[in-house]
Amino acid sequence: MTSVFLFTALFVFLFMGMPIAISLGFSSMLAIFFFGKDSLASLSLKLFETSEHYTLMAIPFFILGGTLMSTGGVAKRLIRFAVACVGH
């Protein structure tokens, strides 16, 4: 029942036009609120506990690095350099 509610809420939020990240967050928070045995205060505690995993912290930094490289033009220069080295 929980997974049906979770996916239904996710698709409702997506069809309403919300961004994917926000709809994932809202649907999971609603599922935890309605079907979980934890309170909302423990939800924030779990959020901060998961930020202690340093391997998960690499994901936002890779996204930030890719954004900086594409806006700065470094990515195009790296691709041109790779094409020049390979010769294709």
Q: pLDDT tens across 20-58, in order?
A: 999 998 998 888 888 877 777 777 787 788 777 778 788
Q: Are residues 11 and 37 in the same domain?
A: yes
pLDDT recorded at residue 44: 78
Domain containing 17 equals: 1-51
Q: Are residues 85 and 69 in the same domain?
A: yes
Burial degree of 27 (CB within 10 A; 0-12, 13-18, 19+) = buried
Q: Are residues 41 and 81 in the same domain?
A: no
The Cα–Cα gap between 10 and 5 comes to: 8
Domain count, the chain: 2
Q: Are residues 34 and 64 in the same domain?
A: no
pLDDT greater than 80 at residue 82: yes
Q: Are residues 80 and 47 in the same domain?
A: no
The pTM of this model reads 0.52
Q: Are residues 3 and 33 in the same domain?
A: yes
Q: Are residues 82 and 40 in the same domain?
A: no
Tokens of 29: 């928070």
Tokens of 42: 């423990």
Q: Are residues 87 and 61 in the same domain?
A: yes
pLDDT greater than 90 at residue 8: yes
